[in-house]
Amino acid sequence: MIDTHCHLADKRFDKDREPAIERAHAAGVRAFVEIAYAPAIVERAHAIAARHPDLFLCVGVHPSEAGRVPDDYLETLRDHARHARVVAIGETGLDFYRDHAPREAQERWFRAQLALADEMGLPVVIHQRAALEETLTILEETRPAAAGVLHCFDDGPAAAERARALGFKLGIGGCVTYGHDALEAAVRSAPAEMLVLETDSPYLEPEPRSLRRNEPALLARVVARLCDLRGWSADEADRVTTANARALFRFPLADGA
């Protein structure tokens, strides 16, 4: 399995980050994408990656950070994007659920990162909350060349079809275990090549939830529900989603590594 979206630099892993990574390996997770979504996180994320050759980075400005990050950070972000361990730009997008940042700032940073991703030849990791139509409209306007993934996908078949037309993947995580009918319909009907796994650790723990913390080792719970919905074996789910993640992020992983 590949966890295509996690936050191991989060302070909630400070006491057991290395054991959490070991648990993930024991559960069958072979690679991780760490999301360095704000300037303060990039250095910590690189430090973790330096200790773990199977951990790759996505660098960007989260929409909720858009009001706090100065425009001149774009040049620094461009430098970060050139690092060999960086495989994507983001997470970027729009979040209208809470007013953490002005909408104008969110859209400005969203469009800047889409342009940067095209410049660098990298895919984009998209965050949207209460902003599906606005997010998809901008993506359909800009059509990112290396495509990307709709992180934490929790919508129905119509949104999945629009994502397919853009060449995007769907990030399937803990939400698929929560009993959301529209999401389940989308997961059943989406082309297999669209599906990638994620945890969003430490957020969105899959059922059965402990209400404490999510971690990459719990990706197996997501796989179990995916298998229920698709009629797959666990081996098939691992094979398909791993191939999809490798195709999108172009991980330098040897077969069998």
> Tens digits of per-residue pLDDT, 50-91?
999 999 999 999 999 999 999 999 999 999 999 999 999 999
Angle of helix 17-27 relative to helix 219-230, nearest 10 degrees, comes to: 30
Query: Given its phi and psi angles, is residue 128 left (phi above 0), alpha (psi -120 to 50 degrees) or beta?
Result: beta
Q: Is the pLDDT of residue 147 over 90?
A: yes
Query: In this structure, which amino acid lies at residue 103?
Result: R
Dihedral angle, C-alpha 250, 251, 252, 253, nearest 10 °: -130
Q: Is the peptide bond before 70 cis (omega within 30 degrees of 0)?
A: no
Non-local CB neighbours of 152 within 8 Å, separated by 6+ positions: 5, 127, 171, 173, 175, 198, 200, 204
- The whole-angstrom separation of Cα 77 and Cα 72 is 9
Cβ atoms of residues 196 and 176 within 8 Å: no
Q: Name the band, by pLDDT with cuts 50, 70 and 90, for residue 246.
A: very high
Q: What is the C-alpha end-to-end distance of the chain, expressed in Å?
A: 12
Q: Is the peptide bond before 39 cis (omega within 30 degrees of 0)?
A: no
Q: Is the pLDDT of residue 256 over 50?
A: no
Strand pairing report for 124-129 and 86-95: parallel
Q: Which fold has domain 2-249?
A: TIM Barrel (3.20.20)
- The whole-angstrom separation of Cα 21 and Cα 44 is 15
Q: Tell me the two tokens of residue 248.
A: 């999108």
CA gyration radius, the chain: 17
Phi and psi at residue 225, to the nearest 5°: -70, -35
Cβ atoms of residues 111 and 138 within 8 Å: yes
Q: Tell me the two tokens of residue 75.
A: 């040049």
**Structure confidence at residue 98 (pLDDT):** 85
pLDDT tens digit sequence for 179-237: 999 999 999 999 999 999 999 999 999 999 987 899 999 999 999 999 999 999 999 99
Average pLDDT value for the chain: 96
Q: Is the pLDDT of residue 27 over 90?
A: yes
Cβ atoms of residues 31 and 1 within 8 Å: no
